[in-house]
Amino acid sequence: MPLPASAAPSAHFLPFARPTIDEETIAGVAEVLRSGWITSGPQVKALEAKISEYCGGRPVRAFNSGTCTMEIALRIAGVGPGAEVITTPLSWVATSNVVLEVGARPVFADIDPVTRNLDLDRVEAAITPATRALIPVDVTGLPVDRDRLYALATKHHLRVVEDAAQAFGSQWRGRRIGAFGDFVSFSFHANKNITTAEGGCLVLNDDREARLAEQYRLQGVVRSGFDGMEVELVGGKFNLTDVAARIGLGQLPHLEAFTAQRRALARAYFELFAAAGAPDLGLRLPVPDFVNSNWHMFQVVLPEERLTVRRTEVMAQMHAAGIGTGVHYPAIHLFALYRRQGWKAGDFPHAEYAGRNLLTLPLFPAMTAADVRRVVVTLTDILLKHRKS
């Protein structure tokens, strides 16, 4: 898809993310509202079927978030008290919170400072007899090395819950993320590449797991006939609404075009940062992967050792210039909840440096080349102004 251009940079406020929802989808949501069936129903089933088709026919169940999906995967895998689950300290805190939810202990391994994904060598070193599962995260949509990941899981007899919240539309060596592997959790939050406003889905391995997922999704209930009901396990209230599912059904046909546009915008960022001398300023750019990544986000790492200000001041000045930025993410192990479990500063230096200095820049399909240029010029001007002499 060619990158759209405009004559001059716009003065409007540019958020770091914004969904693109077409009029047909908006009309379709109105139809669902008028139908009288607005909670889980035919639209949810249709969305599950479409995503299953996208994932090569694997069973898929939709949920009201991409967080409960991981919790339910752990429960289906039998992970509970006494177990350890290895994950990354650089993610949305939900990734490790779900481990606590099932009564297990999250164990962190540091990241690769280049990809910002889990360093699989460090993962292997963290495995103990109590380890039962791995939760890798595809940060910004860049996939963790699936070959090494599953070789490691097979060697140590571990389940894998892929936190692919950011990776819908990504692939690994020509295979779609979600079409292979163990459990795969996707998020359809408002800032994701396709959205249901809030929601997510879990890709499972077989019909038995799919039935368990349905039980966990709605209070453990199993229905039969007109009036039969049984409850065999403790479930939750995690079902997706038909209103949300209809948004997702409208988004899916645009996935390929959205991904192509994101890749074009990312290429523009690389070209413009190179022209602006970003490497000379010490700004670290992401891995330039235009095959596997869906470019969910474009993140840079600020060179704190070369600046006279912290990230918060850079963000404030970007905001004053009409440009929104984000932080994805602070290092999880430094939150009070996790410090109380014994983690401390210095445990994972690569994640800690990234957590202090990562800056998410605007990237969404409705952006133009002029928008990218505006972001690059503004950020490099700020870095130049605050560069240590």
Rg (CA), the chain: 21
**Spatial separation of the C-alpha atoms in residues 152 and 130, rounded to whole Å:** 16
Write the DSSP symbol of residue 96.
Answer: H
Beta bridge partners of 171: 176
**Spatial separation of the C-alpha atoms in residues 317 and 323, rounded to whole Å:** 9
Strand order of the β-sheet with 60-63 is 60-63, 200-203, 183-187, 159-163, 131-135, 84-87, 105-108
What is the chain's length?
A: 389
47-51, long-range: CB < 8 A, 24+ apart: 47/196, 47/201, 47/240, 47/245, 47/248, 47/249, 47/252, 48/201, 50/249, 50/252, 51/178, 51/186, 51/201, 51/203, 51/252
Beta bridge partners of 89: none
* 192 among known catalytic residues: yes
Write the DSSP symbol of residue 112.
Answer: P
User: What is residue 133's three-state secondary structure?
Assistant: strand
Quote the Cα angle for 331-285-305, to 5°. Answer: 65
- For residues 124 and 146, is the Cβ–Cβ distance under 8 A? no
User: What is residue 332's three-state secondary structure?
Assistant: helix
**Spatial separation of the C-alpha atoms in residues 351 and 331, rounded to whole Å:** 6
- For residues 146 and 168, is the Cβ–Cβ distance under 8 A? no
**Spatial separation of the C-alpha atoms in residues 146 and 157, rounded to whole Å:** 16
The tokens describing 212, both together, are 């368990």
Exactly one of 192, 237, 385, 388 is catalytic; name it: 192
**Spatial separation of the C-alpha atoms in residues 94 and 101, rounded to whole Å:** 10
User: Which residues participate in catalysis according to the annotation?
Assistant: 192
